[in-house]
Structure 1
Amino acid sequence: MRLALLTDLHANREAVEACLAHAGRQRVDQYAFTGDFVGYGADPAWVVRTVMDHVARGAVAVQGNHDYSVTRPTRPQMHAEARETIEWTRGQLDPVQLAFLTELPLTQKHGNAYFVHASAWDPIRWEYVTGIEEAERSLKASRSRIVFSGHVHAPALYRRTIEGRMGLHVPQAGQRIGLQPQHQDLVLPGAVGQPRDQNNAACYAVFDDEARDITYFRVPYDHGAAARKVIAAGLPIVFAMRLVEGI
């Protein structure tokens, strides 16, 4: 089975449409969405509805920290721009969509694969996996051969060998990477809706469980249109600039 991995969609319709269209050309069989469907962008209702449609057809989906926040009282320690966007997003979603986000699990496990938005070590802490130490903690906690997660808005691949040695690989777009069955791998596809690695092209990846390989993709999209929507919605302009600059 070929599985498309999309994370951190962040209410960016243009980026999601581009990645789904690209994935369709890769002959994928199923989809997995590892959280943060809302936040930052101007199209939360469309994005949540799209994820719901895919889940109804068998896709995997787990809850991200923005999905969690939009369905609960706003925390006073949240910075003003994030709080403003969360409150605006609540008003864009209907009760069915809010219930869908509320009921999403923090993790899912299917066979040897584990799906989580942040770290498998303690999913509700929303720890960022930005280095070897955090990656090893997540892999050990999952007890799975492969972990698919998001939260970090840049693509990366961590590997833990059977001897316990850790390594980091920064994938190149279009590169097919073989995965050894005796190792543990932590796959971070990068963000669909708000990449932050100085490249404004949307990110996603495709895992082939028969070939036991993964390919990371960068998909150009109309980031200008998405940014203009953010401004037109009255959301903080910094979220529009991030789409343009890829930071």
Structure 2
Amino acid sequence: MKIAVMSDIHGNYIALQRCLAHALEQNVDAYIFLGDYLGEFPYPQRTLEILYELKQNASCIFIRGNKEDYWLNRRKDQNCDWKSGNRSVMAMIYNYNSLNAKDLDFFETLPISQSIRFAGMEPVLACHGTPFENQKALLSEELFVQKCEERYIICGHTHMQGFVSDGKKRIINAGAVGVPLKSPKKTQYMILTSDGKDWKPEFLSLEYDVDTVIKEIHESGLWDASPYWCRITEHLLDTGELPHGTVLNHVMKLNDYQDPWYNIADSYWEKALDELGIR
């Protein structure tokens, strides 16, 4: 049995199309998506339309990532100070404004984690970050990992493919479809294969049309709305280095943590990006 596992699309529908086309060529039996479907790229409805169509025609399981929580909290107006932020968060506002009730209702149905059982196969625990919290990265030494019934735990969130085992549990990270780290100009996903005993991961890193992705970031208006965030995205696509969170932490440090993350003045962003070599 072959399962395609994809995480952290972040709205990069062109990368998603590349991964799905490759998975189709591999004759996979099912798809597992580990969350963070939108966030950094233009035309978010194109990503959702692809996923909705696939859901109608193939066996699919969807997990909720931390990005989905941003949209749902905004809908409920809970923990959502960023709704009144400046250009620091315009990419988030751009994405949220593209969503309709169907999209938000879909996100509401998604679990933080799910134990997945295919007939005759070892169960797999799927999550975005950890089985109980989608904003944290999963570490093999964490106590709750040992308490999980499943031997295999698949996750995303870190945007880096990898495999960790303590001899009992196996944590497998699928990497990122949209903006992988340490993999410039590539998109990533994973195929899990089982003969009824162990699951074996195959980490895939594929070339795709990054130039068109960057062109659409500029042409869509997203770049004008959120120039600093988009500069980080373009740099990450091109180099595989300096994720958004790392840059944001640098911006906040330059600001001496005086302002909330969603409302930091442009001057700090300009200085941070200049210091980090992001043009």
Give the TM-score category using the shorter length: 0.7 to 0.9
1:208 aligns with 2:193: yes
**2:7 matched to 1:10?**
no
Matches of 2:88 and 2:110 in 1, distance apart? 21
% identical equivalent positions = 20
Residue 135 of structure 1 aligns to a residue whose secondary structure is coil
The DSSP-based 3-state class of the residue aligned with 2:203 is strand
The structural deviation recorded for 1:185 is 1.0
Tell me which residue corresponds to 1:199: 184
Q: Identify the residue that residue 93 of structure 2 maps to in structure 1.
A: 87
User: Which residue pairs with 1:119 in the alignment?
Assistant: 130
Displacement of 1:54 in angstroms is: 3.0
CA distance in 2, matches of 1:150, 1:123: 12
1:105 to 106, 111, 126: 111
How many residue pairs get aligned? The number is: 220
- What secondary structure sits across from 2:31 in the alignment? strand
Matching residue of 2:69 = 68
Higher radius of gyration, 1 or 2: 2
1:41 positional shift: 1.1
Deviations for 1:90-149, whole angstroms, at most 9, x for unmatched residues?
1212221121112211111113211100012x324x1123xxxx2232632433110111
Aligned with 2:170 (options 178, 181, 185)? 185
Asked if structure 1 preserves the Cα contact closer than 8 Å seen for 2:184 and 2:237, the reply is: no
Q: TM-score, normalised by structure 2?
A: 0.73
Larger CA deviation: 32-41 vs 228-237: 228-237
Taking the TM superposition and a 5 Å limit, the aligned residue runs for 1:140-219 are 140-161=146-167, 183-210=168-195, 212-219=199-206
Runs (4+) off by over 4 Å? 77-82
CA distance in 1, matches of 2:177, 2:30: 17
Aligned 8 A contact 2:184 2:236 in 1: no
* CA positional deviation for 1:80: 5.7
Shift of 1:40: 0.5
State the distance in 2 between where 1:49 and 1:76 align. 29
Report the TM-score when normalising by structure 1: 0.81
Q: Which amino acid aligns with 1:22?
A: H
Unpaired segments of 5 or more residues in structure 2? Answer: 118-122, 242-279
> In 2, are the aligned partners of 1:31 and 1:54 still within 8 Å (CA)?
no
Aligned residues of 2:175 and 2:188 also touching (Cα < 8 A): yes
Specify the alignment match of 1:128 in structure 2.
137
